[in-house]
Structure 1
Amino acid sequence: MAHSEPLNNKLVTIFGGSGFLGNYVAQALLERGARLRIASRNPEASFSLKPLANLGQLQFARCDVLNEQSVAAAIHGADAVVNLVGSFEGDLIELMGRSAGKIAELVNVSGVEAFVQISAIGADADSAVDYARGKAIGEQLVRQAFPKATILRPSVIFGKDDGFLNMFAQLIQMLPILPVFGPEAPMQIVYVDDVAEAVASALANPTKFGGKAFELGGPEVLTMLEINERIAQAQNRSRSFIPVPDPASALFAALPLTPMSSDQWRLLQAGNVVSEGAHGFEKLGIVPKPLSLFLDKWMVRYCKHGRFGVQGSQTAG
């Protein structure tokens, strides 16, 4: 690792680092020579990163972001901090709003050079959806406590091991006829490696990117129906998709034990695209990658005979 790399040997604390995005952020930072402290309720979930790190490059801290003492201990000695905490369960205003502000306050008094707060496209302090309101409150409190923080607002993030594409892929594999909720909802889904690279770039150059907000969307806008159709095509399956009217979708989401909550339905209905005029990947020097670059390869495991399946003709199976 060249010593000219700004993050080389810098200690970066990643709150929520054991989740889906955290795994990729950690890899991007390890490649730049950073030392990492993965701070989460379940740091064991990140142990798969160990083979990627050199001796002393990776440490783990059990941390509750709602506990100030726990957060302060995780920040101690860090050169940079990333807050990835996000959830659809629990007190979201506390978890993603007030706790983000508390992290920023502790970052401010700790001599930390760079701080990245992961928000979301659609963050809105006036929203009826707790998730959107929690993320917006988090942004506001972070900005107040640490004005030079970089705020990143990704769209729905996709990757090989995500919970988004794979949920639809499993349903398409099993069912010949599938309902599509929010079929015309526009989505600018974004590749997880591109978001991770945005985090690394922001941390590496806080003078240039600090104090700014960036909305991170992929290079194309797809509807939910189009995403489902592309998954079916990549699986080489012929499927019938039934667009579900909004009132029926809302009723379904309100039922217990369904895979989609009412909050998630409202966010889906609103769509998820970059705002007009917003700073995006281009300002960070990153060219985002399209879904089409990966989908055929990722869907092989869902095909009828795996990688030995016949390509080129759709099957009903």
Structure 2
Amino acid sequence: MAKQLTIAISGSTGFVGKNLRQFLADQNISVISLSRKKHKHFKSEKNIVFSDLDDIPKIKCDALIHLIGIGAQTKDANYELVNVRQTQKIVDLCKRSHIHKIVYISGLGVSDSTTFGYFISKLKAEQLIIKSGLDYTILRASYIVGTDDPLTKNLSKQIKQGTIQIPGSGLYRLQPIAIRDVCKIIFNCVTNKKLSRQIVDLVGPRTISFESYVKKFIRGKKAKIKKIPLEEAYFAALNNPKKIPYGIDDLNIMIGDFTSSHKKLEKLSGIKLEFPVL
């Protein structure tokens, strides 16, 4: 009889975390959910509530999926505090618990040459994991799409207001990947040795311009598209954020036009990727 897997998830109440927990529950995989508050849990799931990751006692599991992170800074939560320091605490938890495998969601566009604060924090987190001595898979994610993902929520809110704003030309591209595929790949990272000690771009099989993506998204819905000059978009994001539905870092990522080949991901995981249904 095959050994029953147990997988821990940090950041378990976010978009990816909730979908991953549901996916693992459907596969009858035991889950340890690490969160700051109690939440409704699935069968074969244990919820550990913490105020500080350093206070979590040893946990027994086969792998830890690290999803804690922020994509925008506030006075109370900056990139260094959340994306970097929390990753160090997760590494420490893995070491004291003798968890040998960590899977980390980083960002598409992260590189040694980046000057963008969000990507720098992700790069630092990656380096902490790589240098830890743990087995790892780092997934540099494009937009992960599914019901209630951040981009979908943003565009849906704009539709209710009657207009979707497109900063600049809208010709910059994204490479969305379906949340169902992401869940399969994360699970594959735990069980597939081909993904051991790998950094892989987590991207869908097709690139699409932001303008085309928006047009597909609003098809059949009553909403108009309004293009706004980039300078105006950045000025509003800095000085009047309620005027525009994108923050500075949202704009930096969108306009960065970050794309990659999906072939390495398909080859290593053995999963045929599908373009997300909009």
TM class, shorter-chain normalised?
A: 0.7 to 0.9
Counterpart of 1:84 (choices 58, 62, 67) is 67
Aligned match of 1:12: 7
Aligned match of 2:48: 61
Counterpart of 1:253 (choices 214, 237, 253) is 237
Which amino acid is 2:17 matched to? Answer: G
Confirm or deny: 8 A CA contact 2:64 2:103 kept in the other structure: yes
CA distance in 2, matches of 1:138, 1:181: 30
Deviation (angstroms), 1:147? 4.4
> RMSD across aligned C-alpha pairs, in angstroms?
2.2
Counterpart of 1:22 (choices 17, 23, 48) is 17
Deviation (angstroms), 1:101? 2.8
**Mean Cα deviation higher: 209-218 or 248-257:** 248-257
Aligned match of 2:179: 192
Q: Which runs of structure 2 are paired with 1:1-317 in the superposition (5 Å)?
A: 3-4=1-2, 9-44=4-39, 47=40, 49-50=41-42, 53=43, 57-64=44-51, 67-70=53-56, 73=57, 75-87=58-70, 88-89=72-73, 90-124=77-111, 126-175=113-162, 177-182=163-168, 183-205=170-192, 207-235=193-221, 237=222, 239-258=223-242, 259-274=245-260, 279-291=264-276, 294-295=277-278
Deviation (angstroms), 1:126? 4.9
CA distance in 1, matches of 2:67, 2:137: 13
Deviation (angstroms), 1:115? 1.5
Deviation (angstroms), 1:169? 2.6
Which amino acid is 1:40 matched to? Answer: S
CA distance in 2, matches of 1:28, 1:178: 32
Confirm or deny: 8 A CA contact 1:105 1:146 kept in the other structure: no
Which amino acid is 1:117 matched to? Answer: Y
Confirm or deny: 8 A CA contact 2:91 2:132 kept in the other structure: yes
Deviation (angstroms), 1:39? 0.4
Which amino acid is 2:23 matched to? Answer: A
Deviation (angstroms), 1:188? 0.2
Deviation (angstroms), 1:269? 1.2
CA distance in 1, matches of 2:92, 2:206: 37
Distance change in 2, residues 1:106/1:166 (3 Å): closer
CA distance in 2, matches of 1:43, 1:256: 36
User: Which structure features the higher share of strand residues?
Assistant: 2
Aligned match of 1:312: none
Give the secondary structure class of the aligned counterpart of 2:273.
coil
Q: Deviations over 1:228-252 (max 9, x none)?
A: 11122143x4x54232222112112
Which amino acid is 1:32 matched to? Answer: Q
CA distance in 1, matches of 2:212, 2:235: 23
Q: Deviations over 1:4-58 (max 9, x none)?
A: 4xxx6322110101111001111222233321111012342xx1x43xx2xxx11
Deviation (angstroms), 1:173? 4.1
Which amino acid is 1:23 matched to? Answer: K
CA distance in 2, matches of 1:138, 1:187: 23
Q: Give me the TM-score of the superposition, normalised by structure 2.
A: 0.88
CA distance in 2, matches of 1:201, 1:255: 44
Q: Deviations over 1:108-127 (max 9, x none)?
A: 34322422111111224554
Deviation (angstroms), 1:272? 3.2
Give the secondary structure class of the aligned counterpart of 1:179.
strand
Point out where structure 2 has 5 or more consecutive residues left out of the alignment. Answer: none
Deviation (angstroms), 1:99? 2.1
Confirm or deny: 8 A CA contact 2:141 2:203 kept in the other structure: yes
Give the secondary structure class of the aligned counterpart of 2:171.
coil
Q: Deviations over 1:251-278 (max 9, x none)?
A: 121134433221221111102322x598
CA distance in 2, matches of 1:148, 1:101: 15
Confirm or deny: 8 A CA contact 2:155 2:164 kept in the other structure: no
Q: Which has the larger radius of gyration?
A: 1
Confirm or deny: 8 A CA contact 2:202 2:262 kept in the other structure: no
**Length, aligned pairs only:** 271
Which amino acid is 1:168 matched to? Answer: L
Deviation (angstroms), 1:186? 0.5
Point out where structure 1 has 5 or more consecutive residues left out of the alignment. Answer: 296-317
Give the secondary structure class of the aligned counterpart of 2:231.
helix
